Amino acid sequence: MTGVDVSTIAKLRQRTGVGVAAAKRALETAAGDFDRAIEILRKSGQKVADSKLGRATREGLVGHYVHVNGKIAALVVVTCETDFVARSEAFQTLAHDLALHVAAANPRFLRPEDVPAEVVAKEQEIYREQLTADRKPAAVLEKIVAGKLEKFFEETCLLRQRFVRDENLTVAQLVSTAVQQLGENIQIREFIRLSV
């Protein structure tokens, strides 16, 4: 394989799960830059995932995780299009990893759209009160409030959180990667975290 080191292709494949040809193309496009190649693959994977979003997900399974001390547990309902994919090891691993993430990160909501309006309003009110003492101009204050609200979503919404096993990925990116690898629409329907 000209221009691209075989070990780098293997490393990229292991990290992303793509095929040899896709890994090689991404590395060639990125002029051998590993991180840039990952970014290229993520962008192409997002296009693949976006194209599958409208497809019905009637199969799936409940991912589960119980912490070793027995005091924290999580269940996550993950759906896909076919029973074949639902029974695959990759899908089962995804469901388990999502449950493990929920147990560790304790999200409150699935996505920002699921956050009740009164919770958003209360957060904005708190941020404004914190900032009024700084006497910032109104336009600057609103930008700061918007930034703090985005941070709130990243901390409390499952799809926006950084994946506990790989801080370089959000949970949404993890799911998009699985969509690209498995070739089906995959959705997180709901989750619950229990603790003593």
pLDDT digits (tens, 9 = 90+) for 27-64: 888 888 888 887 887 777 655 555 555 567 789 999 99
Q: Tell me the two tokens of residue 118.
A: 């009164």
Q: What are phi and psi of 143, to 5 degrees?
A: -65, -40
80 and 174 belong to one structural domain: yes
Which domain range does residue 46 map to? 6-52
78 and 162 belong to one structural domain: yes
Which residues lie closer than 8 Å to 50 by C-beta, 6 or more apart?
A: none
131, HSE (Cβ side, Cα atoms, 13 Å): 19
pLDDT confidence of 1, banded at 50, 70, 90? very low
pLDDT digits (tens, 9 = 90+) for 132-190: 777 777 778 888 888 999 999 999 999 999 999 999 899 999 998 888 888 888 999 99
Rounded Cα–Cα distance for residues 11 and 29 (Å): 16
C-alpha distances (whole Å) from 21 to each of 2, 9, 162, 184 are 13, 9, 29, 21
Rounded Cα–Cα distance for residues 28 and 34 (Å): 10
Q: Is residue 1 part of a domain?
A: no
pLDDT of residue 152: 94
Residues in the chain: 196
95 and 23 belong to one structural domain: no
| Mean pLDDT for the stretch of residues 90-106 | 96
| Partners of 73 in beta bridges | 66, 194
Q: Is residue 35 part of a domain?
A: yes
pTM comes to 0.70
Counted domains in the chain: 3
Q: What CATH number should be reported for the domain holding residue 93?
A: 3.30.479.20
Q: What CATH number should be reported for the domain holding residue 36?
A: 1.10.8.10
Which of 8-12, 72-76, 133-137 is predicted least confidently? 133-137
Q: What CATH number should be reported for the domain holding residue 146?
A: 1.10.286
pLDDT digits (tens, 9 = 90+) for 99-111: 999 999 999 999 9
